[in-house]
Amino acid sequence: MDIGFIGLGNMGSHMARRLLEAGHRVVVYDTRQQAIGNLAALGAVAARSPAEVADAAETVMVSLPTPDIVLAVATGPNGVIEGGRVRRFVDLSTTGAVMAQRIFKLLAERGIVQIDCPVSGGVTGAERGTLALMASGPRDEIAAIEPVLAVIGRMFFLGERSGAGQTMKLVNNVLSAAAMTATSEAMVTGMKAGLDPQMMLDVINSGTGRNTATEDKFAKAVLPGTFNLGFTAALLLKDVKLFLAEREALGVPTEVIASVERLLQLTVDEVGLDADISAVVQPIENRAGVKVRAPRA
């Protein structure tokens, strides 16, 4: 199948590579020429714009960092909407339901179907093809590309309503963010009390406190001090803000997630826009006067 792929970052590059390895013809575009060149070296066809990608493939997939960028790539000048062949726009990004519905309507005016399909599983999941894909949109159109989606992960059909997949992604991401922030506070507290950080993780992961941060993120990036999980605190903050906007529209109280937003904002402000999500522990460490570090076993 001919597939267009726009956005070749930490996640997108691996997804596009897997599609190539599965035997699909993949036409790629990114604002960074080096990213295009890396995929072209593996057999991808290089394009010069989103519109050119949409001229070459019926199915165009995008993996982009922010809702505004997705909107511009989908519907802006020289965007996917101007392509002559495109039939499906598959959004693997996290934009929130409101933006998804806006793009859906604009593309529908040109006869292009939007499929919301945000993903979860991080860079490792993208590399291994084990992502969770949260799809919503016309069932027959999703069925037509299920073999393609199976190459990058496991697909969950959330329904035909535009934006349902996006809401599901935000629900997932705020839980992940809450786990990371709460674990950071708990681990720093234990460290300040004199507990060994590796022993704390071993105990937690054998008990009821275990979560994605204790099972994976802390051992990989916090204890060794590498802070390199490959996803920024700024992007996670964006997702949390999108969730808070949706819950406000729905009238749901979410005091815990509001606190998560504050700590992520503090991380971005103090550590920087490029700070890894694992760096959320650093503002807490700075105030407590201890660092949660231990050499790898």
47-79 confidence digits (pLDDT tens): 999 999 999 999 999 999 999 999 999 999 999
pTM > 0.95: no
What domains does the chain contain, in order, with CATH numbers? 2-161 (3.40.50.720), 167-288 (1.10.1040.10)
* Three-state helix/strand/coil letters over the chain: CEEEEECCCCCHHHHHHHHHHCCCEEEEECCCHHHHHHHHCCCCEECCCHHHHHHHCCEEEECCCCHHHHHHHHHCCCCHHHCCCCCEEEECCCCCHHHHHHHHHHHHCCCCEEEECCEECHHHHHHHCCEEEEEECCHHHHHHCHHHHHHHEEEEEEECCCCHHHHHHHHHHHHHHHHHHHHHHHHHHHHHCCCCHHHHHHHHCCCCCCCHHHHHHHHHHHCCCCCCCCCEHHHHHHHHHHHHHHHHHHCCCCHHHHHHHHHHHHHHHHHCCCCEHHHHHHHHHHHHCCCCCCCCC
Q: What confidence tier does 200 reach under pLDDT thresholds 50, 70, 90?
A: very high
pLDDT by residue (tens digit) across 219-236?
A: 999 999 999 998 999 999
Give the mean pLDDT of 197-207.
97
Q: What's the confidence (pLDDT) of residue 235? A: 93
Q: What's the confidence (pLDDT) of residue 81? A: 98
For the chain, give the percent of residues with pLDDT over 70: 99
Mean per-residue pLDDT of the chain: 96
- Active site (catalytic) residues: 169
pLDDT by residue (tens digit) across 135-187?
A: 999 999 999 999 999 999 999 999 999 999 999 999 999 999 999 999 999 99
